Amino acid sequence: MARRLNPSAFNAWVYDHIDDYSHPLEVYYGGAGSGKSYGAMQKIILKALNARRKVLVVRKVGATLRDSVFQLALDLLRDAGIWRGCEVSRADMRIALPNGSLFVFKGLDDREKIKSITGITDMVLEEATELSEDDFTQLRLRLRPPEPDPQIYIMFNPVSKANWVYGYFFAHTPPAGTKIVQTTYKDNRFLPAEYAATLEELAARNPAYYRIYALGEFATLDKLVYPHAEKRLISAEETAGKKFWVGLDFGYVNDPSAIVWGYYDESDRTIYVTGEYVKTGMLNDEIAATIRQLGLQKEIVVADSAEQKSIEELRRAGITRIRPSKKGPDSVKHGVQWIGQCRLVVDERCIHTIEETENYTWRKDKKTGEYLNDPEDSFNHCLDAMRYGLQSVAGERRIRTMSKSILGL
Ligand SMILES: Nc1ncnc2c1ncn2[C@@H]1O[C@H](COP(=O)(O)OP(=O)(O)OP(=O)(O)O)[C@@H](O)[C@H]1O
Ligand SMILES: [Mg+2]
C-alpha cells in the first residue's frame, strides 16, 4: 500500500485486511454498533484513494443513506484532510475524490437512476437484509468493470433466518470468493461504553434481540413482537412533570380509533405507556374533543399519515401540534426494532394496549417456518398509535465518537 496508515484509527479486524481486495464478496454481519459501516467505508475510501474506482453505495431507501453512510464518508474525508480536493454534490449524494474516483449513494427506490450508472467497480450494500435476493442479484449484474479487484461489501444484522441473506451465505457453502466477517460491539474499541451497556441490558429485556444485536447471531425471533412488555401500575407521582408523547391511530366502524400516550426516559431507554383511549365510531370532532378532555391538546400528537385529511380537520379543531407519522418502506420495521430495544412498561390499566402486546406477532415465513422481522397487521391499533407517538421522542439518534484522523492517514 502506497500510503502509510495509522493503525490506531481502525478496529483491528478492519486494519488486518485493509488492503486485501482478493474477495469479490465481503460480508460484514453481526451485532449492532460493531463498526461494520465504519470499517467498510474506511476500507472502500482508502481503496478509492489508491486507485481510480467508481463506488455505488446502496440502501433500500435513499433518504436513510443521507444521515448515515453518506455523512460518514464526508466526515472521513474531512477528517483525513482530503476534503478540499473533493467535489461534493449533496443533492445527488455524489462525491468525487481528487484522483477522479467517484462515490454515488443511491436508494433502491431510485432504481432507474441506478440502471443508468455505468462502470461501477465496487459496491457497498448497507443493511442488506432490507433488500430482496432479487435486488441483490440485479445489483451484482451491474458490476462488470474492466478494472481489477471488483468487490461488493455487504453489511447487516442477522435479523431473521427467513431473510435471504441466511439462505445465501449461511445455510449452504457461500459463493466462491466470499469472505464472511462476524463482529459484535466487543470488537469495536471506539464504541461509547454507554451504548455497550444498552446492548447488554437486552439480555434481560429481550433475549431474541440480545442474540441478534448484542451477540450478532441469527436467532429465532420470539413469536411476539414485544415479548418484553412489562405491566404494572404507574403512579401519578411517577408521571408528574413528564413530557408526554401522544400517538393516534384512526379507525371508524370496524377498527377503533386509538389514542395512546406516555413518556420516555432517555437515561435508561425506557418507554412508559401511561394512558389509552380506544373507541370505534368516533368522528374527527369527537377525537379532537377527547384529546382536549384528556388534557393532551398542548402535546405533540403524531397521527397515522395515511389520513392527511383527518389530521387537517383535527388541526382546525384546535389540536394544533398534530403532525403526520413518518411513513415509508420499512418504517414499521424500523419503529418496532427501536421499541424492541427499549424497555417497555405499560400501565396495567391500559388493557387494550396490554391485550395487543400479548397478541402482536411476527409474520411467519411459509417456506422455512421462521418468523420474519415483519409484524402481522393485526392487534396493532394501540401499538401503532404508540409507535407513531414515540416518533416525537425517538428521532434518529446516532452515536458519534469522532477521533482525529479516522481514516488513519
Ligand atoms: N474506526 C473508528 N473510529 C472512530 N469511531 C468508530 C470507528 N469505528 C466505529 N466507530 C464508532 O462506533 C460506532 C458504531 O459503528 P458503526 O455504525 O460502524 O457500527 P455498525 O456495526 O455499522 O452498527 P449497526 O449494526 O447498528 O449498523 C460509530 O458510530 C462510531 O462512533
Ligand atoms: Mg451499520
Cα 156 to ligand 1 centroid, rounded to whole Å = 13
pLDDT given for residue 138 in this prediction: 93
Contact indicator for 161, 373 with CB cutoff of 8 Å: no
Flag whether 2 is in a domain.
no
Q: Is residue 399 part of a domain?
A: no
390 shares a domain with 267: yes
Please check whether residues 237 and 308 belong to one and the same domain. Answer: yes
pLDDT digits (tens, 9 = 90+) for 281-313: 999 999 999 999 999 999 999 999 999 999 999
238 shares its domain with 180: no
Q: How far is CA 369 from the centre of its chain?
A: 25
Residues 270 and 340 in one domain: yes
Last residue of a domain, one of 192, 210, 243: 192
Residue 371 lies in a domain: yes
The predicted pLDDT at position 58 comes to 96
Output the CA 25–ligand 1 centroid distance in Å: 21
Query: What is the number of the ligand 1 atom nearest to the C-alpha of 9?
Result: 1
> Given ligand 1 and candidates 10, 14, 38, 157, which is best to mutate, with the most ligand atoms within 8 Å of its CB?
38
230 φ/ψ sector (left φ>0, alpha ψ -120 to 50, else beta): beta
Q: Is residue 136 one of the residues assigned to a domain?
A: yes
pLDDT at 131: 93
Could you tell me the distance, in angstroms and rounded to a whole number, from the CA of residue 240 to the centre of ligand 2? 37
In the chain, the amino acid numbered 67 is D
**Total domains in the fold of the chain:** 2
Q: How far is the CA of 117 from the centre of ligand 2 (A)?
A: 24
* Residue 204 counted as domain residue: no
Q: Which residues surround ligand 2, an ion (CB under 5 A)?
A: 37
Q: Which one of the ligands is nearest to 181 CA?
A: 1
| Ligand 1: residue whose CA is nearest its atom 16 | 35
Q: What are the E-state strand segments in 289-402?
A: 301-303, 322-324, 343-347, 362-364, 371-375
Residues 236, 311, single domain; the answer is yes
pLDDT at 110 (0 to 100): 83
pLDDT tens for 209-231 read 999 999 999 988 889 999 999 99
For residue 171, being part of any structural domain is answered with yes
**The model's pTM:** 0.83
Q: Is the dihedral of CA 378, 383, 385, 389 positive or negative?
A: negative
In this structure, the residues whose C-beta lies within 6 A of any atom of ligand 1 are 9-11, 32-38, 157, 188, 190-191, 399-401, 403, 406
Residues 168, 101, single domain; the answer is yes
47 Cα to the center of ligand 1, angstroms: 19
Q: How far is the CA of 220 from the centre of ligand 1 (A)?
A: 25
Q: Whose CA is nearest to atom 2 of ligand 1?
A: 10
Would you tell me the crossing angle of helices 36-50 and 71-79 to the nearest 10 degrees?
60
Residues 37 and 165 in one domain: yes
Whether the Cβ atoms of residue 304 and residue 325 lie closer than 8 Å to each other: yes
- Residue ranges with strand state E in 127-254: 151-156, 178-183, 230-232, 245-249
- Same-domain status, 264 and 323: yes
The residue from 165, 192, 219 where one domain ends is 192
Q: What is the CATH number of the domain that holds 27?
A: 3.40.50.300
214 vs 32, 166, 167, 202, 297, CA distance in Å? 6, 18, 22, 8, 39
| Domain assignment of residue 290, given as a range | 230-394
Contact criterion met (CB below 8 Å) for 360 and 376: yes
Q: Domain ends where: 192, 217, 245?
A: 192
Rounded alpha-carbon distances, angstroms, from residue 171 to 163, 164, 168, 242, 279: 11, 10, 7, 48, 47
Distances (CA, A) of 25 to 96, 125, 218, 305, 320: 24, 11, 20, 39, 51
- 180 and 287 both lie in a single domain: no
Q: Is there a domain that residue 261 lies in?
A: yes
Residues 185 and 262 in one domain: no
- Taking alpha carbons only, the member of 340, 48, 381, 63 closest to residue 219 is 340
State the closest ligand 1 atom to the C-alpha of 157, by its place in the atom list counted from 1: 25
Residues 237 and 379 in one domain: yes
Q: What CATH number does residue 247 fall under? A: 3.30.420.280
Pairing state between β 102-107 and 94-96: antiparallel
What pLDDT was estimated at residue 59?
A: 93
User: Do 114 and 58 touch, CB atoms closer than 8 A?
Assistant: yes
Block mean pLDDT (10 aa), the chain, length 409: 78 96 97 96 96 95 88 93 91 95 93 88 95 94 88 95 94 94 97 90 89 93 92 94 96 94 93 96 96 95 96 96 88 91 94 94 91 93 97 63 51
For the CA of 126, the nearest atom of ligand 1: 27
Distance 309 CA to ligand 2 centre (A): 37
User: Do 170 and 266 fall into the same domain?
Assistant: no
Residue 40 in domain: yes
